[in-house]
Structure 1
Amino acid sequence: MMAHGRRPVPEMLIGSVTAGVVRRSRRPVFLCGPRYSGRAHQHVDVLAVCVDGSALSEKMLPHAAELAKRLGARLQLLQVLDTPTFNKPTSLAPADVSESAYLSGLARRVGKDQALEVDWEVLHGDPAASIVSYLADSHHTMLAMTTHGRSGLSQVVAGSVSHEVVHEAPCPVVVLRP
């Protein structure tokens, strides 16, 4: 589904029809934003899944594992630690070690349960910007993530990482609203 919001107000960066489909669907929805490059994504080698330690974000994992199997792709778990740019640690801080332990354990569990090759990566910075930057540097990658499915004023006030990522991503983004 193409996701080209045409409104000047960021009420729906992905467009009202697309947002309605995502809100009402109980299955993952494939979205291609305005920066999607079809020629650059003829095949998928990596299916990256955004997780944040919440049960909501992990609800995408069974869907992503099935899709990775169908595509013959490797599954990669991504987590972004929202850290201020002025406070970059020179060594692993306790939060990094804790988050790395979460991701490595989750990767082992999903790999074993789904009989898949699963790896992981921790990104640092603004969540949406970090994910988009990762995708810009990763060829033949598709992204999967969950969303809270906010709309209207609540999205404008609270923002939405998934909406911003869909709008800026050069690749297809699979979105699930559990």
Structure 2
Amino acid sequence: MYEHILVPTDGSETAEYAVDQAIDIASKYGSTVHALYVIDVDATSYSLGTEQVDRIRQGHLDEMPEVRAEADEATGYVADIASEHGLTVEEHVTAGEPARAIRKFVEDNDIDLIVMGSHGRSGLSRVILGSVTEKVLRRTRLPVLVVDAHEKDA
């Protein structure tokens, strides 16, 4: 049923809760888990110069060790948890507007299910859903499992 499960991650606590759910589902179906970290070029443009943002958009992440380290840590967390369960994991890092990048990844790959946190690291918490999650829900026809950080505490 679910051969390929996408877990968009920003390394936040909520994203980690989504990883737990994705791993549980992938274990049941023997799915491949795809961990995707999207470098939000709009957000980074405030802290980096336009030349650096252009280099990120062109895929030159190795020239930005701090950005690459954050991405590797987030996708590495997913890979570590999945490997503990004997699952196949593919780590992906891309740049762009997060909801669009997630949608493009889904279109370009054979994804059957998206599992993501209700909100991530944005400075402002949304009352119901984060803006990226909301956009993904509105713009995809795939099933999307939205995991709330408070769900684990219950």
| TM-score class normalised by the smaller sequence | 0.7 to 0.9
Separation of aligned partners in 1, 2:73 and 2:82: 14
Superposition RMSD on alpha carbons, in Å?
2.3
Q: Mark the runs of 5 or more structure 2 residues left unpaired by the alignment.
A: 120-125, 150-154
Q: TM-score, normalised by structure 2?
A: 0.73
CA contact (8 A) 1:49 1:77 kept: yes
The alpha-carbon deviation at position 80 of structure 1 amounts to 0.9
Trace 1:7-156 onto structure 2 (pairs within 5 A). Answer: 43-84=1-42, 87-89=53-55, 90=58, 91-92=60-61, 93-148=64-119, 150-151=127-128
CA-to-aligned-CA distance 1:113-145 (integer Å, 9 cap, x gap): 222112211121111111111112222431100
Larger % of helix: which? 2
Separation of aligned partners in 1, 2:110 and 2:75: 23
CA-to-aligned-CA distance 1:48-71 (integer Å, 9 cap, x gap): 111111112101112111101222
Residue type at the aligned position of 1:127: P
Separation of aligned partners in 1, 2:138 and 2:14: 21
The alpha-carbon deviation at position 96 of structure 1 amounts to 3.7
Structure of greater Rg: 1
Counterpart residue number, 1:172:
143
Residue type at the aligned position of 1:109: D
Separation of aligned partners in 1, 2:69 and 2:87: 24
Q: TM-score, normalised by structure 1?
A: 0.64
- Aligned CA distance change for structure 1 residues 49 and 140 (closer, same or farther; 3 Å): closer
Alignment of 1:163 with 2:134, yes or no, is yes
- Could you list the runs of 4 or more consecutive aligned residues of structure 1 that deviate by over 4 angstroms after TM superposition? none
Q: Mark the runs of 5 or more structure 1 residues left unpaired by the alignment.
A: 1-42
- Aligned CA distance change for structure 1 residues 108 and 146 (closer, same or farther; 3 Å): closer
